[in-house]
Amino acid sequence: MGAYTWHEGLEEAVELDDEWLVFHPGRFTVTKLNESGGVCWDLLRQPQTPDHLAEELVRLYAIDERDAQADVSLFLSHMLELGLIRHAG
């Protein structure tokens, strides 16, 4: 399974009250992430596989592994669509 990481130039993110705001300077957009999205975002500083992200969510939030995998899949798809992450490699 492939790994993902931040898109170059997207180091601008702020954590406020368990939410994250991610700034995309090229598109002039701000994306708000909830707490678990912020966990994934922070981990994506370095290349991460979807399985590793899901494992972290299971560990931190004691959620079902299938739910974590589905959440991560949706998160990654959305973040790719917004141009905030890329395939690492």
pLDDT above 80: residue 40: yes
pLDDT at 1: 63
Statement: the pTM of the whole predicted model exceeds 0.85? yes
Give 28-39 pLDDT, tens digit per residue: 899 999 999 999
Give the position of tokens 């705001």.
21
Instruction: Flag whether pLDDT at 49 surpasses 90.
Output: yes
- Dist CA 80 CA 76 (whole Å): 6
**Phi-psi region at 30: left, alpha or beta (left = phi > 0; alpha = psi -120 to 50):** beta
Taking only the tens place, the pLDDT of each residue in 8-23 is 877 778 888 888 999 9
